[in-house]
Amino acid sequence: MAGKDSTIRTELFIDGEVRPPAGKEYYQLHNPARPDEFVGEAASATADDIDVACKAAHAAFPAWAALSYAERADYLTKIARHLTADEAELNSRIKLFTREHGKILKESTIEMTRLGDRFTLCAAMAERLAVDDELKGPPFDTIITRQPRGVAALIVPWNWPLSILGAKLPQALVAGNTCVVKPSQNSAMAPTMTIRKIAEVLPAGVLNVVTGSASVIGDPLLSHPLVRKINFTGSIPVGKHVMRVAADKLTPVTLELGGNDAGIFLEDAVLDDAAFMRMYLAAFMTSGQICMALKRLYVHRSRYDELCTGLIAAASRQVIGDPLLPETSMGPLNNKSQHAVVTGMLSQAREQGADVQEYGQVPDEGLYKAGYFQKPALVFDPDPALDIVKEEQFGPALPIIPFDTEEEAISLANDSQYGLCSSVWTQDRESAVRLARQLEAGYTYLNGHGPLAQDNRGPFGGFKASGIGRNLGFEGILEFQEYHSISAPDGWLF
C-alpha cells in the first residue's frame, strides 16, 4: 500500500487486519541494481507485535483444525485462483519484487505466477491425508491418526521467498495449523503483499505476517510459548541458533540450511546446446542465489575441455544489467553483504593461483559498477581446499574440477559438510541411479539440476549440515502434524 506521500509502504497483517507496527517504525529498502534508489519501506515489528500475532493464530486454531481436510483443501484452491485474479495488481507486485530484490523480471514473474501451483498440489493430497492407518488385533485394535500441532512460525529467506513459502505454508495450512510468517528483511514488501492476498481468503487469524529485523523479532517469535512448530530456511549459523532457542521449549523444528551442491558429469553424458543451457541455469539462475543451485561440477577428464568450452559459450551470451529490462538475463546480487562474500571468494581463488574467468555482456558499465553485480565466473580446476569449492558461494561462480574414476567423483562430492542436492549426468540409467544412491544428499537430479529439474511432489531437504526434516511433498505436510495412536481391546474397534 502507498502512504500519503506515495511512498510504497507495507504494514503488518494480523488477525485479518492491516496494522502499523507497535513502535510506529519502518525501514527502507533500496534497489540492489541501484543502491541509491529508494524503493519503499516495510514495517519494523516489535516483540509486542509478535505476541499479538501468535495470540491471534492461537485463537484461530481450534476452528481451523476442526475443518475437514477437504474443507481446508477448498481454501487452498481458492487461494491459488485469488493470487492471479487481478492481472494489473499482480504485474505491479512483480515489478516491485524485481526492484526490491534484484532478480530479473522473468524470474519474478515465475515466482509470483506459479506460487498458486503449490497450493493446488497440497489441496490434491487432502483425500490421502484423511485416511488413518488401522492395526487390527490381536493384541489390540489401534487407529494411528495425526493431529495438527498448533501455531506454526514460518521463516523464509530473501532469495526465492515466495517459492520457499510455497514449500511450507500450504503444507502447514492443509495439515490444520495456523501460521505466523516472517519474511526476510532484505525482501519484504512484495512478499508481504502476496501473503496478505493469501490471508484475505482465510478466516481471520489463520495467517499473519510480521516484518522487521531478525535481531529484534526473531527470538520473540521462536521462543513464544504459543508456537508449536518452527520451519526455518536460511544459513547454517542462524539455523543452529534457531535450534538452540527452540530447544528451551522443545519446539519441533524443520531446518533447510542451504547446500554446496555437487554435480557429477560422466564420460558418456550428452553435451549439446540444451544440456549446456540446463547446466548454466542450474548454476547461475537468480545470479546463483539458490540453495539447490549447482555449486561444484566434477567432470570426467575425457570431457573436461569440451564441457568448459560449452559453458564458456553459454556464459558469454548472458546480459548482465538492469533486471527490469527484458533483454537482461542476470541481475545483481540481492545485497551488499552477499556481494562481498562472492567477490571475496573469487579474489581468494585468484590470489591462490586459480584460473578464474568472468564472462557475459555488460551494456551499462556505470550501472554495473554502482550496483551489486558480479558477472558469471568459472573457476577452472581449483584447489579443493579453496572456499570457492568448500563453502556455499550463493552467487554467480562455479568451480569445475576434473576426475578420473567414479569412486573419486563420489568421494569428492561427499567430502562436504553440506548435503542438500546433487546431480548425475549420464546416458546410462543404471549408472545414474547407482551413483545417486551413493551421494549424501536429500535430493539427486539426473541430467539436470536445481529448480527447473525439481519434482515438487517429492520431499525436499538435506543431509548433514544442510538441515533437518523435509518440505514439499506429502512428507512436508506430515512435518506439521503429530501422530496420535488410539487403542482398544482386540475386536472392539474393528
- The set of catalytic residues is 256, 291
- If DSSP codes are grouped into helix, strand and coil, which group holds residue 138? coil
Residue with cell 581463488: 349
CB 296 within 8 A of CB 390: no
Query: Which grid cell is 470?
Result: 523435509
Q: Tell me if 32 sits within 8 A of 332, measured CB to CB.
A: yes
Under a CB-based contact definition with an 8 Å cutoff, are residues 123 and 69 in contact? no
Structure-block grid coordinates of residue 173: 495450512
Taking phi over 0 as left and psi of -120 to 50 as alpha, with beta for the rest, 247 belongs to: alpha
- Indicate if the alpha-carbon torsion angle 95, 97, 102, 104 is positive or negative: negative
Q: What share of the chain is helix, strand, coil (3-state, %, to 5)?
A: 40, 25, 35
Question: What interhelical angle do 69-82 and 189-201 show, nearest 10?
Answer: 130
* Rounded Cα distance, 402 and 235, in Å: 29
Q: Which three cell numbers stand for residue 273?
A: 546446446
The single residue listed with the C-alpha cell 511432489 is: 457
H helices present in 303-379, as ranges: 304-316, 336-351, 365-370
Q: Determine the straight-line distance between the first and last CA of the chain, rounded to whole angstroms.
A: 57
Q: Which of 176, 171, 296, 159 is nearest to 235 (CA)?
A: 159
Secondary structure tally for the chain: helices H, strands E: 18, 21
